[in-house]
Structure 1
Amino acid sequence: MPVEKYFTRYALPLMIIGIGITAAVVVIFPGLATDPTFRYVVLAIPILFSVIAVIFPALQGERRKMQIERNMHLFIIRMSVLASSKLPRKKMLEILSKVKEYEALSIEVEKIYKLMEYWNMGLSDAARTVARKTPSPMLADFLDRLAHSSDAGEELEGFLNKERDVAMSVYINKYETALKDLDLLNEIFVAVLISLMFMLVFVSLLPVFVDISIELILPGVALLFVVIELMVLYMVKSLLPSDPIWHNMDERTGVDNTLKTVLPATYAACISLAVFGIMVNVPLTAIVALFVTPLLYPGYLIRKEEGRVRARDENYDSFMRAVGSYAATSGSAVTEGVGRLSKHDFGELTDAVVTLFKRLLTRIDQIRAWNSFAAESGSNLISKFTEMYVVGLSVGGKVDDVIEIISDNFVKLMGVRRKRYQSADNMLGTLYGMSVGITFTLFSALSLMQLLNQMNDQFALSETTIALPIALKGFNLDIAETVFLLIMLAHALISANLISFASGSHKHSFYINFAILTWICTVTAIVTQLMLDKVLKLS
């Protein structure tokens, strides 16, 4: 968008809105304009809107860059599949421009297609034109190489085969680097949590040495604890490539349909158990555990199905290679090959293969049959590569050539997927162990507070003057326990989401880890209090 057009359409209205808000505040609340505390806040409103108007294009450009580069490897694989069918270049770009899951990348490809279709440009000129405008250096370099290849008369299929290998190598190197950074971040996170635990215990016992109220400082440190954990959560989400296990097709899996009825009932059960615990005067620590218990069931359903999805991913390559080999050697239709393979054991994928064969036999809609096969698998990788296979065959590609491209790259992506699962499992063990340590530390501090309160009562300082180097002051145990429970709950929730993001799991998959972590923390808290009550002889 030209600068003048952006300024008149977006920037100028934002600045006017900022000035208008400031004027409205001054008119409606005239005292704020003269108040020394709020004066600068009111005057900063138009400046804030002006800053937003300036940085918004940069943020949009960065967002488009991320969308392009995270889909680049899949885009080149799909382009290579289409090129293997000797499809005209303009037609190939038209097909690619309609793949909306590539987000900003499909928009850039659409620009090339429109320059060729409506402005009669050649592929090389159109590619160079878009390369100069795109926010992604990676795409710009690829388009420049595509233009040089086109000018040199190199076959598109041969060029894309080389580019595909390079793109996959770059993507896998970035992926593996991100996983190493994740392992490093995991170690740093543990060290930070240990430091925060020390700070929390120190702040909890600070009123012993300084005349300060625990009600003021403890919630602040607890908020700092939660903010740091949220920052780590954001870093993990930003660090790892977007590689979800579950597909996002319109046709949903069986577990998704089940969750539509299970989740509302689960939420109702959570509320009911919490209310029941309050009514029968269950301790607050136990109420927290009761509240999250129903989440175990939907979490278990998701984890069970996710295990099956992973197993299908492991068998997909074997199935597709067998389809390609059978079609190449026997020269018969794919349907016959799938029929023979449906009698073989492909693990969790076997039922989907049998169903696929039955659909193909009807000869009603073979593309829909393959798409349903991908949807029933529940797998993101299977859905993407099956769609490439279907499109490649629909435009006249050879079965064995298309499957060879798909299979080779699927195996490479599964290799880094396994490393991601391993890193996520390491993080899972670390966070479970840290939950025990955090809870033990917090509730040990709570027992010490109770001991100091008991000592304060025994000394009866109001009647006796004793020269002590400490200031024995009563602790508000109810507030301290509530804050510690909130920390415990927040840590369990954030840790569960960390595990979910690290493994690329279902959006509701954190339920089971959240419930288990909460129960671990609850049991640790109760055991810690009972043990220290006996050791310290607390009344």
Structure 2
Amino acid sequence: MGQSTNVATGTARLKEFTDSVWDSYQRMPMQIERYLLLVISPAVLFFLLLTFASVVLPLPLLVRLPIFFLGTLIVATAVLYPRLLVEQQRRGLENQIHLLITHMTVLSTTNIDRVEVFRALAREQEYGELATEMNRIVQLVDTWNQSLDDACKRRAREVPSKPMADFLDRLAYSLNAGQGIDDFLLGEQEAMIQSYITVYEGALENIEVMKDLYLSMILSMTFALINAIVLPILTGMDATMTVLAVIVMFVFVQLGFYIVMRTMSPYDPVWYLQEEYRTKPVRQVDISLYGAVGLSLLLILALALGTLGLTPVGRAMRGVLIGVPIPILMSAPLTPLAIPGILARRQENSIKGRDSEFPGFIRALGSSESAKQATTSAVLQTLRKKDFGTLSPDVDRLYTRLKMRIEPTRAWFYFTAESGSYLIQKFSEMYLVGRQMGGSPKQLGELISRNMNEVLQLRRQRQQATVTLIGVLYGITASAAFAFFIGLEVVEILVDISAQMDLTGTNVGTIIHAGVYDVPTIEYLLTLIILFNALLSSLMIRVVDGGHKANSYLHFVVLAWIGSVLAVVTSHLAGALISV
């Protein structure tokens, strides 16, 4: 009974997935027949060619499998690409829906027409897919003379996001019933926040599932790579080709998981980077980044010259490099990249501190403006004396600029740019626009404060998920480096024993095929896969964390050094133990 239930459940899920794929083909801007001809047909042909090559060519099994999997991956990508596009559109609608509805609520409480609310949101390019959706609603009203509630109802049937479709449906019903858009949106805040929390927490739960699956897959690939290192000594296959084939499969697996992690992670950036006004901390990170990349390139060039023995510098370097393990040589030039990562991490902690203080500041500002019926600069003269932690210097500079008669929009622009926070930028802009259009300061301050506090609570959950992921990735790097090089060390010792005892022509020589190994080349390949693992792992941490790109450089350097040091230590300890 239980087995039949599981089969029925699996069948239902498969049908649901198939229906979603077919629906995505219906939504494509390209005709289905044209897509089948131009994309799927070449992918299937390439798959057949690779399959034929893997069967006909005299290659070992560990080389044939990656070739077959590559063809399968190409076909699967071609078939599922429309589904991925729809998923990307859905994420674009759901990632910032809380900001859009909060912004819509702020605009609706002012003295502008309700269609103008949608028109203003359509001009906000930062909202991406949401701005496009708002523009479609405006076009239905302006071009096709539909009422706003009919336009919302029509778009609710078309959007791929259920939270967005439900919101537009409820909005259309309320507008059709004669309810004001401001009353509806103010009452919608709790439902909107709960919907956003559900989507955000669902994404974090998916990341946890993918983390466990990633751990299992990488351990399996590590086991396969160890087999690729050790088995050729018994089978006589080309060890370098076998190791390279498994490494290619390893790379594809990691790339796949990185893409999935990037797709699943909620869009919630920490930084606000303004091209028009580069603050001192941002310039410091940029300068250190350019300097670190330049220094790393110089070190790589010196290492290459020393390895090849070219030029007087290379010959001088060659004497220094002799005896240094390959993993250390390949990780050392990357070390300067940690400097911009450290600077970005320090600044990011300051941004998070300002984020935590902003809800209290904006609520106090709105309440004081309503109570005193005064301008923002007059209220800030008192508020600037209160302790807002790391936000206090920014509040003080905002007061100074307003007092110097700088235009309020410009003064708030500098305030958000210097804070460096994406959330502060968005919510400050909402408050300023709401005040300029006649909205109630107290209502605006409380609305923004409440919604931002909810986002900050979700960010704390995301931070916990990131810390767990960092621990898993660091552990995988250490264990993989240990396993790779202990397998290589065992093989190297067997090769040395075979060479010393001259087992060629003996019965043992037919069992142990020491001649198939090029140990230095395999060591280079294993070191490269450690560096690639460090690169992909650091990028995964960055997309899950939502921080500055320089954070990935710091993790990349640390992971590379962990793998390299463990590789060297493992080789020395294994050699010492076996020799004893």
If the length of structure 1 is used for normalisation, what is the TM-score? Answer: 0.86
Aligned-partner residue type, residue 180 of structure 2? E
Moved more, 176-185 or 492-501: 176-185
Deviation at 1:410, TM superposition (A): 0.2
**1:26 — aligned with what?**
none
> Aligned match of 2:95 in 55, 64, 70?
70
Q: Name the structure 1 match of 2:18.
A: none
The Cα offsets for residues 25-73 of structure 1, whole Å up to 9 and x where unpaired, read as xxxxxxxxxxx98xxxxxxxxxxxxx99999877665544432232322
Q: Which residue of 1 aligns with 2:270?
A: 245
- The answer as to 2:149 corresponding to 1:107 is no
How many residues align? The count is 506
For residues 222 and 129 of structure 1, what CA distance do their matches in structure 2 show? 50
SS in structure 1 opposite 2:543?
A: helix
Identity, in percent, stands at 31
Corresponding residue for 1:318? Answer: 360
- Is 1:201 the counterpart of 2:242 in the alignment? no
Pair 1:221–1:265, CA change in 2 (3 A)? same
Aligned with residue 84 of structure 1, among 109, 115, 121: 109
Residues 452, 472 of structure 1: 8 Å contact kept: no
Kindly indicate whether residue 287 of structure 2 is the aligned counterpart of residue 261 of structure 1. yes
**Distance in 2 separating the partners of 1:376 and 1:362:** 18
Cα distance change on mapping 1:267 and 1:57 into 2, 3 Å? closer
The answer to whether residue 226 in structure 2 is matched with residue 175 in structure 1 is no
How much has 1:536 moved relative to structure 2?
2.1
For residues 264-303 of structure 1, what are the structure 2 equivalents within 5 Å? 264-277=290-303, 278=306, 279=314, 280-281=317-318, 282=321, 283=324, 284-303=326-345
2:253 to 208, 228, 235: 228
In structure 2, the residue matched to 1:388 is 430
Residue identity in the other structure for 1:266: A
Whichever residue aligns with residue 408 of structure 2, its letter is Q
Task: List aligned pairs for 1:306-455, cutoff 5 A.
Answer: 306-455=348-497
Report the Cα offset of residue 148 of structure 1.
1.6
Q: Deviations over 1:326-370 (max 9, x none)?
A: 223333222122222222222221211111111111223101211
CA RMSD of aligned residues (A): 3.0
Cα gap change, 1:68 to 1:177, in 2 (>3 Å): closer
Name the CA shift for 1:245/1:449 in 2 (closer, same or farther; >3 Å).
same
| Alignment of 1:525 onto 2:550 | no
**What's the offset of the Cα at 1:138?**
3.8
More displaced 10-residue stretch of structure 1: 373-382 or 58-67: 58-67
1:134 and 1:183 map into 2 onto residues whose CA distance is 28
AA at the equivalent of 2:294: A
Q: Are the structure 2 counterparts of residues 460 and 116 from structure 1 closer, same or farther at C-alpha, using a change threshold of 3 Å?
A: closer
Query: Kindly tell me: are residues 364 and 271 of structure 1, through their superposed partners in 2, closer, same or farther at Cα, counting changes over 3 Å?
Result: closer
Work out the CA distance in 1 between the residues paired with 2:219 and 2:38: 49
**Conservation of the 8 A alpha-carbon contact between 2:369 and 2:441:** yes
Q: Which residue of 2 aligns with 1:501?
A: 543
Q: Indicate conservation of the 8 Å contact 1:112/1:127, yes or no.
A: yes
Letter in 2 for 1:480: I
User: What corresponds to 2:558 in structure 1?
Assistant: 516
Q: Structure 1 counterpart of 2:123, which letter?
A: K
| Maintained 8 Å contact 1:11/1:54 | no
Structure 1: unaligned runs, 5 residues or longer: 22-35, 38-50
- Matched residue type, 2:223: F
**Greater alpha carbon shift after TM alignment, 407-416 vs 88-97:** 88-97
**Equivalent in the alignment of 1:141:** 166
Q: Structure 1, residues 380-413: CA drift from partner, whole Å, max 9, x if none?
A: 1111111111111111101111111101100000
Matched residues in 1 for 2:468 and 2:149: separation?
Answer: 48
- Supply the AA of the counterpart residue of 1:108: E
